[in-house]
Amino acid sequence: MSFTSLRPFVLAAALSLIATACVTINIYFPAAAAEKAADRIIDEVWQIREAQTQPAAPTDEGAKQ
């Protein structure tokens, strides 16, 4: 069996490995995304202005209030 006939299988196997790894991560709690979501909600509930928060805060939060 030549390498060319094996290549699709090898590629599919590699993809399946990567995909499985990602699906596994998604089953676990996405801590970083949750932190981001918590910060967005806390900004709104506590009405924290842009100047008081970290510079990374999204700019559209202040406009909504």
Partner 1 sequence: MKALTRGTRWLSGLLLGGVLAFAVHAQGNLEIDTPAIAALKASMQQRHAQLAPMYASGAIGLGADGTVALRDASVVPLAQRGGLNALVAAENADRAALYREIARANQHPEWEADVRRTFAQRWIDRAQAGWWVQRGGAWVKK
Q: Can you give the binding site for partner 1, defined by CB under 8 A? A: 5, 8-9, 11-12, 15-16, 18-19, 22-23, 25-26, 29-31, 33-42, 44-48
Q: How many CA within 13 A on the CB side of residue 19?
A: 6
Report, in Å, the least distance between residue 22 CB and partner 1. Answer: 4
User: Which residue lies nearer to partner 1 by CB, 26 or 62?
Assistant: 26
Report, in Å, the least distance between residue 46 CB and partner 1. Answer: 6
Residue keyed to tokens 């399946």 = 16
The one-letter amino acid code at 45 reads V
Count of residues making up the chain: 65
